[in-house]
Structure 1
């Protein structure tokens, strides 16, 4: 099912790029972000993704801005590039027949409904596994399919709050601060991809599909890393620290004459190099700054002495000194600057895809670079709602 002339790029002139997953057919019932992000990653790696959408409305994110001049969602288009679309009402008998014909050919079905929704439709894991034993069923939900909160609804903001991420984000004494991207959804999407690929590996050995259960809240706990380590040792729940690292110093954003730079001197040797680079060798002999542990205990004093030395330098001058000394550092960039950075461009992390009508759209590239496969500078456009119905029905013989 993976080869189809319907898979074309934003201009309709190139076939969908090959990838290591080109033998997989994904039936995608998901909407908004967590599930669609997972299937976008799979599509970028070559899988064929058929997006099953609600008739007349489609994925909710088709109606979430920003919109282009034609009223098409850039949000939807960037996450659903390279997919096909068919609109099916899973309560309609004829549409169910089509859906089940798709499932019979599919390798994976992905959904991000609340637990129980698919069971009510007759398409829960137990029912589908009995009929299609090789089918992998991946569910990305707010709280997972077990536990006392399994039936609760969730959005990214909810799991960021509940998962502890917001408690360590922002500045001390400041208001609750959401992480600037939807890490609740995106981490769930990435863990869903890992689960699906694990299930594909398992099926190759056993011939059996499996149920992949990913919860957004679980994903937030999984990425708390240092916060959990600190709590485990101290018994005290960490709070926000602004831009600095809780256990490594200097490891933060520091003010220069015209802005900020990030300096990450992650060990004692780098601290010594930094002292020399900013013409402050005497700091190496200060007992407050002798080790990483003592520097972290005196993080505010470290910041004060560094910023005093950087006050007469531009960010560019400070970065040049750090780079010459081999000290990890970087500019504090906004989105435009990041997208235009020479390293980002060199790694093909800014690609061109398309809105459903084929209008061009700039989007993030695929960060997984594979030596055996090309990394195209363009990706197929996002689908119009129900765009591929006729081709899919013909392919299914319906």
Structure 2
């Protein structure tokens, strides 16, 4: 089977996480992704932690499966012309290079669209270009701080914190892939490409405000912002006798089932807990009751009891236990794979299914510059030209990275 984007070619000028998340989704759906890297390589090759060989950190492997690595030194006078020839064969260009640097390299939307009117140019930026923060550098934690995500922790616990994963990068990378899908659909109708700007600040601020503006949506405000249920310090996995489980009981049927499960059926008629509105108004009391309700039995017992009442409840997983979760194993999201240079690895599969077919299993992430010669030959350069670029230092190859 082949993915819905088979036949499309992506020039990936992105690095670290947000851009590679986007291009990883496009690769999963069948697009050919050419990952352009500098001689230093994507920062994640080193920033991503330990690896068996230089530049092949585990985190890099997971974000860059299915991509062909081309290593060009764009400071070299001949490299820009080579890049233009590669771009001319592409349908989509994705970058998280800051706008001023894009202009210097000649890969900004205006320049590219003039030369290649069918190409879709997607620029992932920290801040939209029409606001006072335009052009400022941004990483995930910067965006979490400025967008109010860290402020949600302060509202919950009294101390601002970051989500301990790159949530802004992941979310905005997925949004970028979504926007590219929209642009491809329009290109089918108009024949023209699109320039897309995906600002991380605006997207994550929108998420926070959608979640927590609440009573302040009205004028005059009906109350302070913040969803008390989400911000409650007790909004966490519930402790059992031997660990934790994840439980949610939102509808009346679920909450009443929970009360029966814990042996407190009288709470069904309690005016504080009888209805959705009542439980929302008494979130603190409801969550405090739940926090200690499961201490008398083991997790497996509670999962069976709550399941019988049709209360949403699942095992609590750590990062390590995700690797052995029976459902993830059965669906193929987590599997063992032999990497050609790194040996045995754990690979992460595609989470979504399309009835019309998915791209075949993605090949492993490549060493820096591994596909360079092939990519340039496909762009029409002769073997002699490629050899000359390599001798001049414009093209870097894997053996030079040892």
Same fold (TM over 0.5): yes
Query: Which sections of structure 2, spanning at least 5 residues, go unmatched?
Result: 382-402
Structure 2 SS opposite 1:385: coil
The Cα shift of 1:363 comes to 3.2
8 Å CA contact 2:259–2:267 kept in 1: the answer is yes
- For residues 231 and 366 of structure 1, what CA distance do their matches in structure 2 show? 39
Corresponding residue for 2:224?
236
- For the residue of structure 2 that corresponds to 1:116, the secondary structure is helix
Paired with 1:39 and 1:53, the residues of 2 have a C-alpha distance of: 14
Q: In the alignment, which residue of structure 2 is the partner of 1:157?
A: 141
Moved more, 79-88 or 352-361: 352-361
**Alpha carbons 1:137, 1:210 under 8 Å: kept:** yes
* Mapped partners of 1:328, 1:73: distance in 2: 37
* Partner residue in 2 for 1:392: 375
Specify every segment of 5 or more residues in structure 1 that has no aligned partner in the other structure, as ranges: 1-16
Match of 1:48 among 32, 35, 39: 32
Distance 1:203 1:158, change over 3 A: same
Deviations, residues 176-204 of structure 1 (Å, cap 9, x unaligned): 22112101111110111011111111111
Which residue of the other structure, out of 219, 230, 233, is the alignment partner of 1:245? Answer: 230
With normalisation by structure 2, the TM-score equals 0.87
Which residue does 1:121 correspond to in 2?
Answer: 105
Shift of 1:354: 6.2
- For normalisation by structure 1, the TM-score amounts to 0.87
Quote how far apart the aligned CAs of 1:365 are: 1.9
Count matched residues.
Answer: 375
Task: Please report the RMSD computed on the Cα atoms of aligned residues, expressed in angstroms.
Answer: 2.3
Q: Does 1:90 align with 2:74?
A: yes
CA contact (8 A) 2:214 2:226 kept: no
Is 2:181 the counterpart of 1:197?
Answer: yes
Please identify, of 148-157 and 277-286, the stretch whose mean Cα deviation from structure 2 is larger: 277-286
What is the alpha-carbon distance in structure 2 between the residues aligned to residue 354 and residue 219 of structure 1? 37
8 A Cα contact 2:5 2:31, kept in partner: yes
| Range 203-212 or range 64-73, more displaced | 64-73
Deviation at 1:169, TM superposition (A): 3.0
1:379 corresponding residue in structure 2: 362
Distance in 1 between residues matched to 2:130 and 2:7, nearest whole Å: 32
For 1:69-148, what aligned pairs fall within 5 Å after superposition?
Answer: 69-71=52-54, 72-148=56-132
Structure 2 equivalent of residue 11 of structure 1:
none
230-239 or 94-103, which moves further after superposition? 230-239
1: CA distance between counterparts of 2:292 and 2:32? 56
Per the TM alignment, residue 367 of structure 1 is displaced from its structure 2 partner at its CA by: 1.6
CA distance in 1, matches of 2:26, 2:44: 19
SS of 2:237's partner is strand
- The residue number in structure 2 matching 1:276 is 260
Taking structure 1 as reference, are residues 252 and 62 closer, same or farther at Cα in structure 2, changes over 3 Å only?
closer
Aligned to 2:302: 318
Change (3 A) 1:277 1:50: same
Structure 1 segments, 4+ long, off by >4 Å, are 352-356
Which has the larger displacement, 84-93 or 195-204?
A: 84-93
For the residues of structure 2 that align with 1:204 and 1:330, how far apart are their CA atoms? Answer: 43
- Give the Cα separation in 2 of the matches to 1:228 and 1:345: 39
Native 8 Å contact 2:28 2:359 kept in 1: no
Distance in 2, Cα, partners of 1:78 & 1:170: 32
Q: CA deviation at 1:375?
A: 6.9
With 72-81 and 256-265 compared, the bigger mean Cα shift is at 256-265
Q: Which residue of 2 is the match for residue 20 of structure 1? A: 4
Q: Indicate how the Cα distance of structure 1 residues 69 and 388 shifts in structure 2: closer, same or farther if over 3 A, else same.
A: closer
Corresponding residue of 1:185:
169
Say whether the 8 Å CA contact 1:78–1:361 is kept in structure 2: no
